[in-house]
Amino acid sequence: MPVQDLNDKLILKHPKGASAEVLLYGATVTSWKTGGNSNPEPLERLFLSSKAVLDGSKAVRGGIPVVFPCFGAPTHPDHKNLSQHGFARSELWKWDGVVMDNEAGVSVRLVLEPSQKISAIYPKPFRLSYVVTLAEHQLSTDLHVTNTSFSEQFEFQALFHNYIRAPSDSLFVTPLQGLQYKDKTDDSLQGLKTEGRSGVDVKKFTDSVYTNASQSYTVTWPGGEISIRSQNLKDVVIWNPQAEAGGKMGDMEEGGWERFVCVEPGYVDGFENVAAGSTWSGGQVLTIN
C-alpha cells in the first residue's frame, strides 16, 4: 500500500524499501528512509529531535519544515503579525489525494488555504499546494503558491528547512565558494562576506544565508553523501547551532547538533512576487548518491 492515511500523518512506501512520513501539521516531512548502501535496513536520512513537539502545538524541530511567507523574523509590512518563519509550518494542512502512484514512486498533495485564524494575521488571498514525491533513492518537495485574487499581487519568501542527518564534525557542503553570504552568527557585521572555502563545514555555530547560489548542493561525510537540487530557489541557508545555540533550544535533544546540518534552499534574499491569478512554484530533489 503506497500511502497510509493515519489521520494526522501520511506514510508513503516505495516497493523497493524507501519510505517517508508527512505530518498534516505544517506539511512537515518527519522521516525519509532509503535502502542503505550495503546495509539492507532502510536508513533514516533526516534528523528529527527526540524532543520535537509533534502534537501540533509548535513547529517541528527537524525533518523538512515548510517556511512561508517569511523567512526568519518578519521584515515585510504584510508579515508584521507573523512569527519567525511564517505560519505554513505551524498550520494544519489538508491531504488532497495521491498525485502519482506507479513503479517509479508515489506522490501526495497537501493544501493550505486561509482559515479565520490565518486571515486574522495574514489577510492575503493565497492557496498553497505542496507535493511530496518518494522514489527509490529520491525525495522531492514542490511548493505551489497561488494568488487567488483578481486584482492584487503579493510578495513572499519561501524555503525548505531541511534537517539533513549527517555527523556535523566531519561533513562538508559544496559548492558555496565565491558566493556572498550574511553571517547571522556575527551581529557586529553589517555587510556580506564572500565564501572562500571550497567545502563548508559546520564544526562551529553556523548560520549563513548565501544569495544567488548554484541551486545544486552536496553534503558529503565519511561514508555518505546526499545531493540537493532546487528549482526557482535562488538562495540557500546553512545552519547548525552547535552546543552554543542548540543547548538553549528546549526541543533540541542533547547533542542533537552533532547529528545534522540544515541545508535550506529558498527564496529569502528579497521577496518573490506573485501576480493576481498566478501561481509560483519552487521545488527540490534530495538524492542519496
- Indicate which residues carry an active-site annotation: 161, 264
235 binds ligand TA6 (CB under 6 A): no
The secondary structure of the chain in percent helix, strand, coil, rounded to multiples of 5, reads: 5, 50, 45
CB of 277 to ligand TA6, least distance (A): 31
- Of the candidate residues 17, 35, 42, 72, the single one contacting ligand TA6 (CB under 6 A): 72
- For 87-144, give the DSSP string: SGGGSB-EEEEEEEEETTEEEEEEEE---HHHHHH----EEEEEEEEEESSEEEEEEE
In 3D, which of 19, 237, 284, 263 has the Cα closest to residue 165?
263
Size of site (CB under 6 A) for ligand TA6 = 11
Contact flags string 2-41 toward ligand TA6, x per CB under 6 A:
----------------------------------------
Contacts of 265 (CB under 8 A, 6+ apart): 159, 160, 162, 215, 217, 228, 230, 233, 235, 236, 282, 284
To ligand TA6, the closest distance from the beta carbon of 275 in angstroms equals: 28
Residue 59 or 132 with smaller CB distance to ligand TA6: 59
Contacts with ligand TA6 in 175-194 (CB under 6 A)? 184
CB of 110 to ligand TA6, least distance (A): 20
Place of cell 526541543: 251
Residue ranges in contact with ligand TA6 by CB under 6 A: 59, 72, 84-85, 161, 184, 207, 237, 239, 262, 264
